Structure 1
Amino acid sequence: MRKLYGLLLLLLLSSACFAQTWEPGIFAGSSGYMGDFNEVNPFKFTDFSAGVSVKRNFNGYFSAKLGYTYGKVRGADSLSSNAQLRNRNLSFFSPINEVSLTGELNFFNYYSGISIKRWTPYIFGGVALVNYNPKAVYKGDTYVLRPLKTEGQQKEYPYNALSVPYGVGVKVNFSGSWNLGIELGYRTAFTNYLDDVSSYYPEKAGLVNVDSRILTDRSGEKTGIYIGSPGAQRGNLRRDTYMITGLTLSYTFLSQKCPVVSP
């Protein structure tokens, strides 16, 4: 009976001590993208990314994190091994600004600085808002693609889109309340215009200006033969995905001193 009372007391102390802990952190790594310029490689990371976050740890298993991440995505048909894509000859790049709210689930009972278990794998998922602005370089000049309506849209596609972040990671308590982790995450965006390529070639006569008519179909720049006939498929008609991987460094603030917790 004494052991039972002791266990209940430990659980109560743990609840009081660990129910309210805050964990700010920073992130640095790489960003990449899957879409009309990369349909098959989920590990094609091309650019630097960085971010900051603040996490609320509710217990040793579950936390919620609010984060901001900056990255960049890009693609070019000229680099493709697919002859059909090389003939299309489109390209783009875009900054990515993301604000996310995710839930994180630890596999082990993990309390930074005070638990016996000093590391844990984890999974995460949530919701995010991503800001994007696809651009292309033509003859040394950079063009913002959204206002050109390169697929004959009636109006410009939005500057922001919802996305669904999900992924896995491993973190370790390496010194005091300091945590170091490595994370791999994917974001399915509710848009097919991260890369400005979505559906079909339009009637060039109906496009907004000369720049739009040039950048909608660049297939003939080298050969003089243009393949973008109206109604022909220009994109893959699927939502785009961007991915982010890298290292996290965070510090956990405990509300008060607490006993060491077993895993």
Structure 2
Amino acid sequence: MPARIIVILIFLCCVVSKVQAQSWELGVTMGGAGYLGDLNQRNPLKVSGLATGAFLKRNFNGYFSAKASYMHAQIEGADSTSKYEQFRNRNLSFATPLNEVALTGEFNFLEYIPSISKNLFTPFIYAGVGAVKYNPQATYQGVVYDLRPLTTEGQSKPYRQTAVTLPFGVGIKYNVAGRLNLIADLGYRSARTDYIDDVSGLYADKSVFSNPVAAALSDRSGERLGYNIGAAGSQRGDLRKHDTYWFLGFTISYTFITEKCYYEK
């Protein structure tokens, strides 16, 4: 379903661009990534990994554009680093590689056409839709395990590996020279899943696990306390429906402009 949404939006974007095409823009991004979820409920700006990506953008005029992008990142979380004792005792941890494709619309607050408009910079906002593939992992006794197939909350089947994501954010772009741009933006993604960190609901009854590794990773409090606190049916996650992840990106881009687009007025 997410892939179909992206294809439809890209098709519509292409149709619009044929009607009022102005310029293309290519960019590469590097920055930081973080997340808000069951293992980080209170710090919306905690960086936990690196993010890289690239985009292709269609600028319809100096204010509106549509962008197709790809981002790769890794986010992490560990209860052992929390300042709250209840989370340290829970003792869960994860690391999740993320691969996201998205289509977003951008709006510049100032007219911005590199090397043509009088404005050398503009703040902007964006929003759109995308799809993210995620694979939470954890290290246990020196071995890295994929958590999804272990169904650590006693699920009847593994959760999906992909989810719809809704990107939105703010940024600022600056015309460095000619058609070269520097861009900084902070964008949050509301993922339509609560398993980016493999934690969502309640502790499962240990008897449902046939795999001893799955049983051990379902409740890791014993590694810290010497006894397990995850009684069957008690709260394991924060019980919110969705996790959120974010990117802080620094981008360099180049805009391909045809003089015909902007001077035939």
Structure number having the greater helix percentage: 2
Q: CA deviation at 1:259?
A: 4.2
Classify the secondary structure of the residue corresponding to 1:222.
helix
> Is residue 241 of structure 1 aligned with residue 244 of structure 2?
yes
User: Given that residues 149 and 208 in structure 1 are in contact (C-alpha distance below 8 angstroms), is that contact kept between their aligned partners in structure 2?
Assistant: no
Partner of 1:250: 253
1:51-90 matches, within 5 Å, as 51-90=53-92
In 2: Cα distance, 1:46 partner to 1:212 partner: 25
Asked if structure 1 preserves the Cα contact closer than 8 Å seen for 2:89 and 2:224, the reply is no
> How has the CA–CA distance of structure 1 residues 156 and 208 changed in structure 2, closer, same or farther, with 3 Å as cutoff?
farther
Q: Does the 8 Å CA contact 1:184/1:244 hold for their aligned counterparts?
A: yes
- Conserved 8 A contact 1:54-1:66: yes
Distance 1:144 1:214 in 2: 13
Q: CA deviation at 1:164?
A: 0.5
CA deviation profile, 1:156-208 (whole Å, cap 9, x unmatched) = 10010001100000001110001101110000100000000000001111124
Q: CA deviation at 1:20?
A: 2.2
Structure 2 partner of 1:153: 155
Quote the Cα distance in structure 2 between the aligned partners of 1:37 and 1:202. Answer: 18
Q: TM-score, normalised by structure 1?
A: 0.90
Residue 50 of structure 1 corresponds to: 52
Count of matched residue positions in the alignment of Structure 1 and Structure 2 = 245
5+ residue gaps, structure 1, are 1-15
1:260 to partner: Cα distance: 11
Q: RMSD value over aligned CA atoms?
A: 1.6
TM-score, structure 2 length as denominator?
0.90
The alpha carbon displacement at 1:113 in A equals 1.3
**Match for residue 170 of structure 1?**
172
Q: Aligned partner of 2:153: which letter?
A: E
Match of 1:207 among 206, 209, 218: 209
- The aligned residue for residue 109 of structure 1 is 111
Instruction: Identify the residue that residue 192 of structure 2 maps to in structure 1.
Output: 190
Q: Which has the larger radius of gyration?
A: 1
Q: Distance in 2 between matches of 1:223 and 1:45?
A: 28
Structure-1 separation of matches of 2:98 and 2:106: 22
For residues 206 and 214 of structure 1, the distance between their equivalents in structure 2, rounded to whole angstroms, comes to 12
Percentage of matched positions with identical amino acids:
51
Whole-angstrom distance in 2 between the partners of 1:40 and 1:208:
35
From 229, 232, 236, the counterpart of 1:230: 232
- Structure 1 residue 256 displacement after superposition: 2.7
Distance 1:260 1:29, change over 3 A: farther
Long gaps (5+) in structure 2: 1-17
Q: Indicate if the aligned counterparts of 1:115 and 1:260 stay in contact, CA closer than 8 A.
A: no
Q: CA contact under 8 A between 2:73 and 2:97: conserved in structure 1?
A: yes
Q: How does 1:115-134 map to 2 (within 5 A)?
A: 115-134=117-136
